[in-house]
Chain A
Amino acid sequence: MTRSSLTDPPGGTLPRADRPAPSTVDSTVRMGFTQRLRRDWPFLVMTAPAAVLVVVFHYVPTLGNVIAFQDYNPFLGDSAVGSFLASPWIGFGNFMVLFEDPAFWDAVVNTLSITLFQLVFFFPLPVFLAILLNSVVSGKVRGFVQSVVYLPHFFSWVLVITFFVQMLGGAGLLAQVLRQHGFEPVAIMSNPDAFIVVVTAEGVWKDLGWGAIVFLAALAAIDQQLYESAAVDGAGRWRRLWHVTLPGLRPVIVLLLILRLGDALSVGFEQYILQRDAVGRQAAEVLDTYVYYQAIVPQQWGVGAAAGLFKGVVGLILILVANRLAHRLGEQGVYSGK
């Protein structure tokens, strides 16, 4: 209830449309469409441009995924819509081509391996960093460390990989030092076997600090008295960490875990496409780069759309399942019919 809805008499002395619009729902139910339109048109005008862009660049392509069931040929019509109307429907033909392509399954396996690897070796690190930063008593030291570790989040993938190449690559600083001391330099950046470790290290370098922000906020929300009572009851620092800190972080951890699981088929795009040439397809091809190299480059639109649709549908199912799972475990989940 807002102030206006409490103070205005129910019938109102002013005609409804001229009355100051209440800031919440209450009285709108009783108004007709034209009255509401007359009152609310500025909101609609404000929202419209952004909504149009989202429809054009998000929903139209989403619907455009139906070309996955076509032998789409851009030369059949004089516009994209014309080609779409003229292209023949071929049912699941594109999916047959896709599922029989071993390179597609390689890409699926690579993607899932990287997701799994990063869940184990990347996901927990921001939690540790947040706990570490939170335990630093000096505000100045903490502020400085935070400023430094947040920074790489704002670098592009081109930059992050550039820094890695200049430090660890074949012509980088590490190779120089090894060579000067008579050792054979090790190929880190172009070794397919090391690729999964390298991309994870790049991700950690870029986003470790940024990922800790959410956990730091959750730590700040933990009631300090819980720590004190635990200490009075004889819990040492490790038991307080286990019985107070980690339960306090649990909802955030579960939330981010769901989001990550729902995104299991996306490991990022630019990071992989930038390194695919140096490392080779066998290790560096993920689903997104597969779509680019198998569809956009050779202009095999139907098969590419089929791969994209496969990824989108599986991703949607994953996030719905993960969210339901979280609800069942008694956690809040990502969304809940608001």
Chain B
Amino acid sequence: MSTHNAWEERPTLVGRLGKGGTLVLLVLVVLFPMWSVVVTSLASRKTIDAAGGMVVIPREFDPSAYLSIFSGGTVTQALWVSTVVTIGGTAVSLVLTTFAAYGLSRPGTLWHRPLLFVFLLTFLIAPGLVPTYLVVTGLGLKDSLWSLILPSAVSAFNLVVMRAFFMGVPTELVDAARIDGASEWGILFRIVLPLSKAVVAVVGLFYAVGYWNAYFNSVLYLDSSDKWPIQRILQGYILGGQSPAVTGNVPINLPGVTAYPPSLAVKMAVVVVTVVPALVIYPFVQRHFTKGVMLGAVKG
């Protein structure tokens, strides 16, 4: 963006080295742990034993840890649960939030102010853990996957971000459609939403990340372990000291594959599959971040 201005001093050598060094360090601090985790997940037992644990320098490509976690069993089941909750939850959240954001985007409509207030007040008042727990269990959601979705289905922050975006759609367009006889539903689907793809993408990402990352609600509400999401399983492996049940039904006729992958490699493979969804969606939505964050900050 900014080129060197005539009135600016020439950057000093120390300044440039300091800046460059800081940026390199920041990038390394973020990327190095991820690198080491990926390399360890693909390492053989021999390499892991030689390194005494985490591996930094890749020596071979042994996918047996991944074959093991995808061959059925706890991790496969947990990934399935997390995927269902993330996709289903994001769909529910996006539909509810989009409708409410549009419903609240025209000041002057009936009950507009009190309804908006209902959502905004949630920023100031936090209900507390105990009554929330009693309400969720009282509704019979204990041990149901809905307990991971419904309590957090509508985020007032995301609603405000979307509403601000909808209010920015040119009034002329909306009025013209209305004069042509379009209903509010038609206006939302044919005019407002096509112009709001960016905000839908960002809000969708926020919701999806929230559902994929949720850990504690599963501790509170889910008793049966076959309903546990991947974060819960990862927590058990890394922080709870449990060992992954390394299955022996890995196809060993593939080259470079060992029948019983080392437990550390399996754990690191679980870390990798937990990170991957974020990495996959991230580039598509990243360019909209600033807009999304700022809309919420300015109009909230």
Contacts and interface: CB of A to CB of B under 8 A. Distances in A.
Interface of A: 2-4, 20-26, 28, 33, 36-37, 39-47, 49-51, 53-65, 67, 74, 79-81, 129, 132, 135-137, 139, 141, 144-145, 147-152, 154-159, 161-163, 165-167, 171-173, 175-176, 179-180, 205, 208-209, 213-214, 216-217, 224, 227-228, 231-232, 236-237, 252, 255, 266, 269-270, 273-275, 277-278, 288, 291-292, 295-296, 301, 304-305, 308-309, 311-312, 315-316, 319, 335
B43 interface: no
Given A44-B111, A172-B53, A308-B128, A132 B175 contact: no
B129 A308 contact: yes
A47 B98 CA distance: 9
Given A57-B150, A65-B127, A308-B131, A171 B183 contact: no
Contacts of B109: 21, 28, 36, 39-40, 43
B134 A64 contact: yes
A24 B52 contact: no
Given A55-B118, A65-B131, A308-B131, A158 B151 contact: no
Nearest to A300: B130
Given A47-B104, A162-B238, A176-B52, A53 B124 contact: no
A65 to B, nearest CB: 5
Nearest to A41: B110
A313 to B, nearest CB: 10
Q: Which of B9, B127, B153, B213 has the most CB of A within 10 A?
A: B127
Contacts of A64: 127, 131, 134-135
A68 to B, nearest CB: 8
Contact of B106 (A23, A145, A163): A23
B7 A158 contact: no
Given A43-B110, A148-B30, A81 B278 contact: no
Contacts of B118: 51, 54-55, 59
Interface stretch (B33-41, B66-74, B245-253, B254-262): B33-41
A166 B286 contact: no
7 contacts: A23-B175, A44-B111, A46-B100, A47-B104, A58-B125, A156-B214, A305-B130
Classify the secondary structure of B's interface with A. helix
Interface string B273-300: 0110011001100100110011001000
Interface of B: 1-5, 7-9, 19, 22-23, 26-27, 29-31, 33-34, 36-37, 51-54, 56, 96-97, 99-100, 102-104, 106-112, 115, 118-120, 122, 124-139, 150-154, 156, 159, 171-172, 174-175, 178-179, 183-185, 188, 209, 212-216, 219-220, 231, 234-235, 238-239, 268, 271, 274-275, 278-279, 282-283, 286, 289-290, 293-294, 297
A61 B108 contact: no
Contacts of A274: 215, 235, 239
Nearest to B105: A43
Contacts of A43: 102-104, 106, 109-110, 112, 184
B215 A80 contact: no
B12 to A, nearest CB: 9
Nearest to B134: A80
Contacts of B106: 21, 23-24, 43
Contacts of B136: 57
Nearest to A262: B124
A67 B127 CA distance: 12
Contacts of B122: 54, 58
Given A43-B184, A291-B129, A21 B27 contact: no
A155 B135 contact: no
B154 A180 contact: no
A125 to B, nearest CB: 11
Q: Which of B96, B109, B128, B235 has the most CB of A within 10 A?
A: B128
Given A24-B106, A33-B110, 19 more contacts: A43-B106, A49-B96, A50-B159, A55-B118, A57-B151, A61-B127, A62-B125, A67-B134, A79-B138, A150-B289, A156-B215, A165-B238, A167-B33, A217-B293, A236-B9, A269-B216, A291-B130, A304-B130, A312-B126
Q: Which of A62, A156, A269 has the most CB of B within 10 A?
A: A156
Contact of B23 (A49, A145, A270, A288): A145
Contact of B135 (A80, A154, A156): A80
B235 A301 contact: no
Nearest first, the 6 A-B pairs at minimum CB distance are A308-B128, A80-B138, A64-B131, A25-B108, A156-B213, A46-B103
Contacts of A47: 99-100, 103-104, 115
Nearest to A133: B23
Contacts of A129: 26
A40 B103 CA distance: 9
B172 A157 contact: no
A273 B216 contact: yes
B30 A152 contact: yes
A137 B282 CA distance: 25
B110 A149 contact: no
Q: Which of B151, B209, B215, B234 has the most CB of A within 10 A?
A: B215
A223 to B, nearest CB: 13
A213 B293 contact: yes
Contact of A57 (B26, B132, B214, B238): B132
